[in-house]
Structure 1
C-alpha cells in the first residue's frame, strides 16, 4: 500500500499529475473536487465513507463496517472530533479525513503505520511511504542522521523520530497532521499515556477484549489468516485467538538449532491442539540461514532497516503463507515490551514505595547482576530527560556494561569501528537536541521505555512489510495496536509483576482460551546458535561488504576495525548487535538509486 494525502488547495492537482501511474490507481477527492487521497491499495485494505462534505478513510486493518463508520462520521463537525472514531475502532490503520476542506491524517502510536511529509509545489504533502514523496521531489541524505543508525538498539528519543532525508519530516509520536486549505500543515497532539491505575482483575478482561478485537480486525479482511507459532506465549496466544474466529488458519514456525530449545515442544503441543489449522514447520534444510543475503541491493529506500540477518527468512514466511491464500499474517511482536519489568519498572516501584518493593529490587539485581552502585542508580530518581540525554553524549564509545541499561533508555553506544567523524556527528546531534530541552514520551520512565520499544517494533514492522508486500502479504502485530497499547499501559504498576510468573496480565486475560501450558511458561528460547551458524556460513559475504563498504567510503566507519571483528575465530557476543546494524545500513546504502546521494552536513 502506498498513498499520498493532499490539502484542499489548487496545487493538489499538479502534485497528483507528478505521481507515476502505479501510485494513482485510486483517487478520492475533497468535496471541492480537488484530489485528496491518491494511492494504490486493495479494496479489502480500506474503508471509506462520506457524509455531506465530510469524508473519512481507514487504510489498513480496521475492525469496522461502512455503516458503523458512516454513523460515527455523521456526528463529526471538526477534525478533533474524529478521536471518537479512533476510540471505537480496533485494529491498525491510517486515518485520513477531510472535514469541510480541513484534513486530518495520522498513523498508529507504534509507528507500524507511519506518516511522513515534505513540501511539494508550495504545499505540504503527506504520505505513508517516503518513496512516494521521492516520486514528487529530489531527496538528499542527512549524514548525521544516517550515522545514528549505527547506534546499538536505536537512536535515543527524539532523534529516533527524525528522518534520514533532509526534506522529509516524520509525524511526531501521538500527533496527527492537520493540513490546512492554504497548503500549510501542523502536528497536533491527540493522545497521552493513561495513568496506570486499573487493577488487574478489571484490566485483564479489557485487555482480552482489545486483543480479540485486534485479531478480528485482521480476520474481517481475509478468509485465510496466517500466524507465527513459535511456542512462545505471544504468537501462540494469537493462534488460539484466531482459531476462535471464522477463518482458515495457517501457522508457521522455525525449529531452532539449540538442543536445549524448549519452544519447539510447546509449539508442537499447541499445533496438536489446533487440528483444524494447517501447520508449516521449517528446519535447517528448508529455512534460510541467518545472514543469507546481507549483500542484497533491493531493499526499499525509505530508511535504513533495523536488521538484515533474518530478511530472507521473513521473505520465506511471506512466500509460503501467500501460496496458501494468506494475505494477513499475525506475529507476536510487542507483547514483551508491553509487559516490561526492567530497570525503569524497578525505578517506578521504588519511587512509590521502596520498602515495599525490596524483593523486586533484590530479584532484579540478581537476575541482571547489578553492582550495588548500579542498584542505587536504579532506585533513585532519574535526572530530567534532557540532562540524561546530554550525559549520554559523553559515553558513546564506552564498552557495554550493566550500568548502561539503567536510565530513561539503554545508553546509546557506537560500535568500536565507528570513525571519529561519525562519533563527532552523533555527539553533536545529541547535544544540540538535549539543549532544546526535549520531553520524554511520558513523564514516567517506565512508560517512556515501553513506548520507545513499541516505536522500535513499529519500525521493524514497516521494514518487514516492504519485504512481505512483494508477495501481497501484510505482516500484522496485534500487540502494537493503539487500543491494546493503551489498555496495557493503564494496568496498575504493582500488578504487572508477580514473582515466578511471566507476563501475568496477559496470562490472566487469556486464561481459558489459551492452554495453561502456554500461559504458565517461565522459560524463553533464543536464536543465538542460529545467528552464529548463519554468520559463519555467510562470513565471506560479510567480509566482501567490509572491503566494499559505502560507510567506509563516506568516512563513517574504520574499515580495518570492522575487518578485525569479522576475522575473529570466535565472534565476541557484544559485537553481534552492532554488526547487524552496520550491515543493515550497508545493504540499504547499496539499494539507493544512483540519483540519490548524501549531502554534506
Structure 2
C-alpha cells in the first residue's frame, strides 16, 4: 500500500508527494518527461509490504524490447493472489524480475488489458502511462478500498489534470483555489452522509468511481469527466446454491484470510469483540498456528464506564486462552480532542462521529506495536445483514409478497429471546419500508415534518436512494449500502486512519469469493430464525465462543460520545456552535435548537459534533465559509 500521483500537462513539483509521506514512509520515486510535447509525471511513496528490496520500487516500467516505449506504472494497494497470477503469466511466456505484486499487476495489464481487473483478488488504485499508445490509464478496485481522486490542475501558466491518493496532493494546484461543494457540505451537516458519490467537499476535486477504469489521451485540455470511466464490475452474482452455504462461506473466508496474511512484514488484526472481527482473528490464528508462526497480534478499544457500551466481556471471551498477544486501549475524551485536528487532516474531509478518531488511535497503536499490516472486518454488516434496520426491509418484502404469516413469524422470532425490538416496532419498520423513500418524504412534508426544523442548513435535501430494477427491497438496500450509503465512507475512514500511521489495512470480507457468495444469498439465508447475519453465525460455529456468535445486541465501533458531550466536551461543543453563528451557511434557529439540547439528546450531540468537525476542517484546509 502506498501513495500515488499521475499528471498530464504540468511539470514535477515536490508538493505532489509531500503530503503523503506517511502513506509511504519507505521510499519515494518519480518518472517525468515529455510524451510528444506534453509533460507526464508519475510520483510514488512506498509502503513496503511484499518484496522489500528496491527491485519493487516504483514507478515501475515494463518493456518487451529495447525499442519498446513501454508501460510505466504507479500502484497503490495489494494483489493478494499475485503468486497464482504470476505462475499463470509465466506459463504464457512472461518473465519476472521481482518477488512482489506490482510487477505481476503490470504484466497482467499488458497481457489481458482491462480483462485483468476481474482476475485480481485485491485492493488497488493505479495509473499506467502507456507510452506505446500515448494514453494514461487509471483504475480502481471493486469497492474503492484504495482512493484515487482527480482534478484539473495548474502550475504557473501550464494547465492539465492529475490523479492522486489524497486531496492534500491536489490542493496546491487547483486553478480556481479551494472552493466548498455546498451540496456535499449540506448533506453532511444535516444528516451526516459522506462519500455517497463522486463529489468531495472540495468543489473541484472528484473521486474516480469505485469499480471503474478510464483511458485518457495525453491532452491537457481534455480532463476526465464522470462519463469517461467505465465500470468493470457489477454488484450482482449468481444465486448461491446448496444446503451447506455456511460451510461454503467459512471456506471462502478461510482462504481470504490466509491470502491476506501473506506479507514480508508483521501482520496483526483489529478486534472489537463482535462476530466479524472475532471470526477473522480465529481463522487467522488457526492459519498461523498451522504454519508454525506466533499468534496474531490484536489491537482493541474498550470503554468500561458505561456497561451498555463496554465490549470487555466479549473481548475477554475472544482473548481467553492467551493464544496471541493483545493490546487494549482506552483513549480519553481529552486525548480525542487533543488529536482531533490530526484525524481531520489525515481524513482530508469531515466525518460524523468520534468513533473515527478512536479508529485512528487503534491504528496508531498497531504501528507502535510494530505491525505494518492489519486485518479488519469492514463490509460484513452490509453483505450479511448486520444492521438492525435491515430487518424491516426483509419483513417488508414478505408483506409485499402477501406472506403475512411468514412476516409475523419472522418478526416474532426477531423480537423474541432477547431481541432488540418489539414485534410492534418491527411491524412499523416493515410498513414504512413498503413505500419508496420519495413517498415517505412527501407524506412527512404534508405533515410539516420534512425537512426537520433542526437541520442546520436550509435549502438542500439529500438524494434519495436510486431505484435498482430487478431487486427486492432488501437486495436493493444491500446494494445501496455497498455502493453509496455506508461502505464507501467506512472505506475512506479505514484507509486514511491506517495510512496516517503507515499501516496497510486488509479486509477479508471484501474478497471476491466472499462477496459473490453473499450477493447470491437470499435475505432468508441471512435473517433466518430471528437472527441477523445468521449464515455468518453458523459459519463461525465452533470457531468462536457462543457468547460472541450468538450475542443479540450489536454495539458497532463506539465511544461514550453522548457522555462526553454532557461533560468534558460540552464547553467545546458550545464554543463551536457559537462559532457557527458567524457563517451564513447555518440556520440560526436550528443552531438554537441544537445548542439547547447539547448533552441531553443523542441527535443534538451528533449534530454538534458534525458542526464542530466541519468548522475545524474548514479552518485546517483554508476553506472560506
TM-score using structure 1 length: 0.78
Structure 2 counterpart of 1:59: 76
Query: Partners in 1 of 2:446 and 2:251 — Cα distance?
Result: 44
- Tell me the CA shift for residue 583 of structure 1: 2.7
Question: Is this contact kept in 2: 1:314–1:467, CA < 8 A?
Answer: yes
- Say which of 211, 226, 238 aligns to 2:253: 211
**For the residues of structure 2 that align with 1:216 and 1:502, how far apart are their CA atoms?**
26
* Counterpart in the other structure of 2:285: 243
Equivalent of residue 416 in structure 1, options 441, 449, 454:
454
Tell me how far apart the structure 1 counterparts of residues 75 and 444 of structure 2 sit (CA, whole Å).
Answer: 41
Q: Distance in 2 between matches of 1:392 and 1:149?
A: 23
Look up the SS of the partner of 2:529 in the other structure. Answer: coil
Q: 2:29 aligns with which of 22, 26, 39?
A: 26
User: Does the CA contact (< 8 Å) of 2:597 and 2:604 recur in 1?
Assistant: no
Q: How far is the alpha carbon of 1:297 from its aligned partner?
A: 3.7
Q: Which residue of 2 aligns with 1:472?
A: 502
Choose which of 451, 454, 479 in structure 2 pairs with 1:451. 479
Aligned pair partner of 2:216 in 141, 161, 179: 179
Deviation at 1:331, TM superposition (A): 2.7
1:361 to 1:415, Cα distance in 2 relative to 1, 3 A: same
1:180-195 counterparts in 2 under 5 A? 180-182=217-219, 184=222, 185=224, 186-195=228-237
CA RMSD of the aligned region, Å? 4.1
Offset at 1:104? 3.4
Which moves more between the two structures, 76-85 or 523-532?
76-85
Report 1:28-427 matches (<5 A).
Answer: 35=40, 37-44=42-49, 50=62, 52=64, 53-54=70-71, 58-65=75-82, 68-69=85-86, 71-72=88-89, 81-82=112-113, 84-98=115-129, 100-101=132-133, 102-120=135-153, 121-137=158-174, 138-154=177-193, 160-182=197-219, 184=222, 185=224, 186-195=228-237, 197-199=239-241, 201=243, 203-221=245-263, 223-246=265-288, 248=294, 249-253=296-300, 254-259=302-307, 263-273=311-321, 275-282=322-329, 286-289=330-333, 292-293=336-337, 296-298=340-342, 299-300=344-345, 303-340=348-385, 341-351=390-400, 354-355=403-404, 357-358=406-407, 359-360=409-410, 367=422, 369-370=424-425, 375-378=430-433, 380=434, 382-383=435-436, 391=442, 394=445, 398=449, 416=454, 418=456, 422-424=457-459, 426-427=460-461
**Match of 1:579?**
608
Deviation at 1:263, TM superposition (A): 3.6
Q: Which has the higher contact order (CA 8 A, sep 6+)?
A: 1
Query: Which residue does 1:463 correspond to in 2?
Result: 493
Q: Distance in 2 between matches of 1:392 and 1:51?
A: 63
Partner of 1:556: 585
SS at match of 1:149: helix
Deviation at residue 26 of structure 1 after TM alignment:
1.9
Deviations 1:180-200 (A, max 9, x none): 344544111212222462136
Q: Distance in 1 between matches of 2:556 and 2:84?
A: 46
1:522-561 maps to which residues of 2 (within 5 A)? 522-525=552-555, 530-535=560-565, 536-549=567-580, 552-558=581-587, 561=590
Q: CA deviation at 1:293?
A: 0.9
Moved more, 96-105 or 319-328: 96-105
Superposed CA deviations along residues 382-433 of structure 1, whole A, max 9, x for unmatched, are: 55x8x5698599599837xxxxxxxxxxxxx667051xxx321x14xx5xx7
For the structure 1 residues 232 and 397, does the alpha-carbon distance in structure 2 shift closer, same or farther, using more than 3 Å as the test?
farther
Shift of 1:56: 6.0
**Within 2, Cα distance between the matches of 1:304 and 1:565?**
23
Contact 1:151–1:415 (CA<8 Å) still a contact in 2?
no
Residue-by-residue CA offset, 1:142-190 (whole Å, 9 max, x unaligned): 22322221132416x9x64422222222223432233234454411121
- Structure 2 unaligned blocks of 5 or more: 21-26, 65-69, 95-106, 416-420
Evaluate the alpha carbon distance shift between residue 42 and residue 576 of structure 1 in structure 2; reply closer, same or farther with a 3 A threshold. same
SS of aligned partner of 1:226: strand
SS at match of 2:611: helix
Structure 1: tracts of 5 or more residues without a match: 400-412
Aligned partner of 1:16 in structure 2 is 12
Local SS of the residue matching 2:272: coil
Deviation of 1:255 after TM superposition, in Å, equals: 3.8
Calculate the TM-score normalised by the size of structure 2.
0.75
Worse-superposed segment, 555-564 or 221-230? 555-564
Q: Alpha carbons of 1:82 and 1:513: their partners in 2 closer, same or farther (altered >3 Å)? A: farther
> CA contact under 8 A between 1:196 and 1:490: conserved in structure 2?
yes
Q: Distance in 1 between matches of 2:144 and 2:448?
A: 29
